[in-house]
Structure 1
Amino acid sequence: MELILEIKRLDNSEQPTTEVIMSTLRIALVIALTTTIAFAFACGGGGESIDYGYQGEPGAPGARAARGDSEGQFAVATVLVEKVVEVAVEKEVMEAEAMMAPATAAPTAAPMAMEMSEKLSAQNVDISFQPQNRIIVRNADMSVESHDPIATIDDIGDLAVGRGGWVVNSNTSDHGFYNITIRIPAETLDAVIEQITANVAKVISVNSDSTDFTEEYIDLGARRTTVQNTVDALSELLTSEKYESVNELLEVQREITNWQAELERIDGRLAFISESAAYSRLTINVNRSPIPMRVDVGEDVHVGIGLGRKYTARFFPPEDYDNFEITWDFGDGSAPQTVYTGLRTEGEDGLLSVPVPHTYHSDEFAPHVVTVSIRAYSDRGLAEGEDQLWANVSELPRIDAFVTASQWDVEEGQPVTLTASFNHPDTLRNVRYSWDFRDGSSVVEGTVASDDTGVEIEHVFDRHRPESYKIVFEIRGDSDAGEVEETHFAHV
């Protein structure tokens, strides 16, 4: 059994054939058995009687037969031992071959295992970058107002340092506008924005954006490996002294320099992406909170559809504020109108804005809210204010009038009676009329009572002329939407 184990040990390194194993065992066992039997016969020939189970005197047939049988038994025993050994060896060899099978198959399985490992590794390139491992760069911009912008800038800088970040830059201007840019750990961005919001007078806007650099980062990593391998190969070529001239040496050195520059560029980009993902950029524009300014746009107005009107406002800026931005929004969906001039008026405080005309073309959604917003600028900052009024838009009342005469052909110095008839809308007030005979006489004016729908007048033309006189009758009245008038012509 120890021999079998030794053969197994040798088999693992040299792998002898089954025939060699069996031949070796046969020889070893036959030699051992022959030696044992020969030793036994030698001991028996020394005069000591050995009983093999056969009767007879020495020299008798039985005794000879016993000795002959003993020699035959030796040969038979040898054959049997060989058979037994052969069977045992075959069994041991079969077991040994079964144990050696995995080792024999290993050289074939190893490349397959390596191939599978490479495939899995290739798959892991895509699998390993799940959303939670993506390289996301988050940045944000804020616009805020503060009563003390300089103190706010200082507080934001201290906040960045306290959060493990730093101040990138900060700037101030001559018009009360300030800004600061900080870098803070990406995971603290939302908390920092909330803290800034809680400590300023007003947040005007907050804008944030996220950029995914995962694909670029992976591509750069693969590119870096390729470039590094190229640099290593060129460096090995440089040290191998396999070049034949100085020019070849210089060419290799130039190539190494070029590839190392590319490697440094890739490393710089990778470092930038990593740092950008780890630290978010936050830029804050800090405006000085505006000084309140009084603005007076006047009383509500009534306007007629299609009837233009001019709008003005009086405002009271702080002293030394002389740059203005006056914006009118008429509330009907039209574009706002902006002017930049304020006029001073005699005997009145404040400034009067330049008149801005506007016409409403529909009474849909009326009344409209008219808003005027005024901003005044100086080196000390901003002042602003606004005021509103209601614009009631409606159709203008309509007056229809016509004139009749007692006669259209009259003699010089002969009186003629003229009658003007018209409708009188209930929404009209202060209705008045006028007669102009165009003959050099004075214009005749009068008022109409609330229930009257006509007026009558007598007139004498003192001079004759070949052409007729053109008589002009006008009637007008006031309404909430504006003044209404009608003109009628007659020829006498």
Structure 2
Amino acid sequence: MSLLRLAIVIALATTIAFVFACGGDTESIDFGYAGASGAPGEPGALMARDESGGLSVVETVVVERVVEVAVEREVMKEVELVQPAAAAAMVMEKSESESAQNVEISFQPQNRIIVRNADMSVESNDPIATIDDIGDLAVQRGGWVVNSNTSDHGFYHITIRIPAETLDAVIQQITNGVAKVISVNSDSTDFTEEYIDLGARRSTVQETVDALTELLRSEKYDSVQELLEVQREITNWQADLERIDGRLAFINESAAFSRLTVTVNRSPIPMRVDVGEDVHVGIGVGRKYTARFFPPEDYDSYEITWDFGDGSGPQTVYSGLRTQGEDGLLSVPVRHTYSSDEFSPHVVTVRVRASSDRGLAEGEDQLWANVSELPRLDAFISASEWDVEQGEPVTFTASFNHPDTLRDLEYSWDFRDGSPVINGTVASGETGVEVEHAFERHRPESYRVVFEIQGDSDAGEVKETHETYVSVYPAPTVEADELAASCTATTPVKA
């Protein structure tokens, strides 16, 4: 058989062996050789089973030396476990009997291969010193620093690898004496199955490389082209072997040395925040809330978060305004409406964070929001429609209740005819007002007269508005020729 064809047979036999090693069977890949039995030098056929179940000829070959490859189907009868960092190398045991090679695959005992990693977030007044302490701790535990870096906003990161069995102890040591811990997250991944599969594949690939290398050394090739083909096959299988070795090495190192990534935040600088006095607000009445805060110089990025204590969720704004003659910054107003007085009063909390390339500044303040029903204010006008003569004085009367919880009660009349609005204040206990007005011009459409009364309460402002419509008709006129010459006009006539 030529060198190239023998290389093909070896590759096919190796593939079959790997399928069995991974729990496969020969139904999906079925190869055979048909030729003159026991007659080297006679033409034969290398055959493979197609999708329909029949055999088809892959290549016609001349048998120079009969090689039978038998793969034992009893594979991986028992898998026990070893230490995580130990290699799960497969052992291929071969015994030559007559002209056949029997390959038996077994595994060394092994434990589960578990990779543990963790992430921490901590705060420190001196992040650089904290980064150095964590790096020193890694070296003391037999590990090393993978990388460390800083950002433009006072955030620092360090990643270390330490022996897996020391991960919990290192986390505890950082918690106890290195920095204030904000959060810790850890995870575990089981690589056992992948590791075993890689071990099986590696043994199979190594056998192929060895067989092809031995074939190349035998110098039994018919042409330079066949030699190059075999060398190319060796190169391809060797590259596959190196990739497997790299992955196995990575899993070994990851199982033996856990990764710990620590984010170090500079401890925030305290910042004064003033949200003002407690408030009273009515149910369903929207109210705007602002806070004044005093960030350090050059801290120009802000996050202002409001929590109104009623389960409605936080509201956040990101800017502050400077006001003339006032220190500090005034936050952009946020509007909130309470839908119920249940559980009133509510605690309103505002938290402000300011940041710069030097770090963070934080502060908060609170107030009480007393929620209650608005006082009821009812008002009425004496008539809803009027018909009056042009220039005729009309008296408008409005009546209303005057709850004790209302203060600073005021009213206004707007006749919508170009005359000034009439404003007035309601005295304590007063429940009605009157006003007189004359419409000097008539027009086809009615005048809409608006009466409004409003007052303040602890729950908020209360307002009531009513309208009436006035139709103005022209005054009668007297023609001059209708007067008798002997008559003297004694009563003025409106023109």
TM-score of the superposed pair, with normalisation by structure 1: 0.69
Aligned to 1:104: none
Shift of 1:448: 3.7
Alpha-carbon distance change, 320 to 456 in structure 1, aligned in 2, over 3 angstroms: closer
Aligned to 1:370: 348
2:436 counterpart of 1:459: yes
Aligned to 1:447: 426
1:122 to 58, 76, 89: 76
Aligned to 2:171: 193
Give the 5 Å matches for 1:253-402: 253-402=231-380
| Maintained 8 Å contact 1:136/1:212 | yes
Alpha-carbon distance change, 346 to 168 in structure 1, aligned in 2, over 3 angstroms: same
| Maintained 8 Å contact 2:408/2:425 | no
Aligned to 2:452: 474
- How far, CA to CA, are the matches of 1:275 and 1:344 in structure 2? 56
- How far, CA to CA, are the matches of 1:406 and 1:264 in structure 2? 97
| Maintained 8 Å contact 2:385/2:468 | no
Shift of 1:272: 0.9
2:181 maps to a residue whose letter is: V
1:353-378 CA-to-partner distances (Å, cap 9, x unmatched) read 12222333444554433222211122
2:212 to 225, 234, 237: 234
- How far, CA to CA, are the matches of 1:432 and 1:294 in structure 2? 39
SS of residue paired to 2:76: helix
1:447 maps to a residue whose letter is: V
2:296 maps to a residue whose letter is: P
| Maintained 8 Å contact 2:115/2:189 | yes
2:138 to 148, 155, 160: 160
- How far, CA to CA, are the matches of 1:353 and 1:344 in structure 2? 9
Alpha-carbon distance change, 466 to 178 in structure 1, aligned in 2, over 3 angstroms: closer
SS of residue paired to 1:320: coil
Shift of 1:470: 4.4
2:123 counterpart of 1:145: yes
- How far, CA to CA, are the matches of 2:457 and 2:345 in structure 1? 16
Alpha-carbon distance change, 213 to 412 in structure 1, aligned in 2, over 3 angstroms: closer
Aligned to 2:148: 170
| Residue ranges of structure 2 left out of the alignment (5+ in a row) | 1-71, 85-109, 471-495
Shift of 1:291: 0.5
2:128 maps to a residue whose letter is: I
| Maintained 8 Å contact 1:406/1:416 | no
- How far, CA to CA, are the matches of 1:425 and 1:464 in structure 2? 39
Alpha-carbon distance change, 461 to 254 in structure 1, aligned in 2, over 3 angstroms: closer
More displaced stretch, 343-352 vs 277-286: 343-352
- How far, CA to CA, are the matches of 1:448 and 1:267 in structure 2? 95
Shift of 1:473: 2.3
Which structure carries more strand by proportion? 2
Cα RMSD for the two superposed structures = 2.9
Alpha-carbon distance change, 297 to 290 in structure 1, aligned in 2, over 3 angstroms: same
- How far, CA to CA, are the matches of 1:210 and 1:344 in structure 2? 51
1:400 maps to a residue whose letter is: D
- How far, CA to CA, are the matches of 1:466 and 1:133 in structure 2? 101
Shift of 1:149: 0.5
1:279-329 CA-to-partner distances (Å, cap 9, x unmatched) read 000000111101010011111222233322221110111122222222223
- How far, CA to CA, are the matches of 2:385 and 2:250 in structure 1? 101
Which structure carries more helix by proportion? 1
Shift of 1:412: 6.8
SS of residue paired to 1:124: coil
More displaced stretch, 302-311 vs 373-382: 302-311
| Maintained 8 Å contact 1:305/1:363 | yes
- How far, CA to CA, are the matches of 1:155 and 1:283 in structure 2? 14
More displaced stretch, 292-301 vs 354-363: 354-363
Alpha-carbon distance change, 237 to 436 in structure 1, aligned in 2, over 3 angstroms: closer
1:395-428 CA-to-partner distances (Å, cap 9, x unmatched) read 3233221121699556677665543222333432
2:202 counterpart of 1:224: yes
Aligned to 1:434: 412
- How far, CA to CA, are the matches of 1:457 and 1:480 in structure 2? 28
Aligned to 1:106: none
User: Who wins on radius of gyration, i.e. which is larger?
Assistant: 1
- How far, CA to CA, are the matches of 2:305 and 2:264 in structure 1? 24
TM-score of the superposed pair, with normalisation by structure 2: 0.68
Q: Percent identity?
A: 78
SS of residue paired to 2:77: helix
- How far, CA to CA, are the matches of 2:383 and 2:255 in structure 1? 95
- How far, CA to CA, are the matches of 1:267 and 1:172 in structure 2? 35
Count how many residue pairs are aligned between Structure 1 and Structure 2: 372
- How far, CA to CA, are the matches of 2:331 and 2:302 in structure 1? 10
| Residue ranges of structure 1 left out of the alignment (5+ in a row) | 1-116
2:291 maps to a residue whose letter is: A
| Maintained 8 Å contact 1:376/1:382 | yes
SS of residue paired to 1:318: coil
Aligned to 1:419: 397
Alpha-carbon distance change, 394 to 144 in structure 1, aligned in 2, over 3 angstroms: same
Alpha-carbon distance change, 177 to 466 in structure 1, aligned in 2, over 3 angstroms: closer
Alpha-carbon distance change, 278 to 458 in structure 1, aligned in 2, over 3 angstroms: closer
SS of residue paired to 2:316: strand
2:259 maps to a residue whose letter is: R
| Maintained 8 Å contact 2:406/2:456 | yes
- How far, CA to CA, are the matches of 1:229 and 1:303 in structure 2? 83
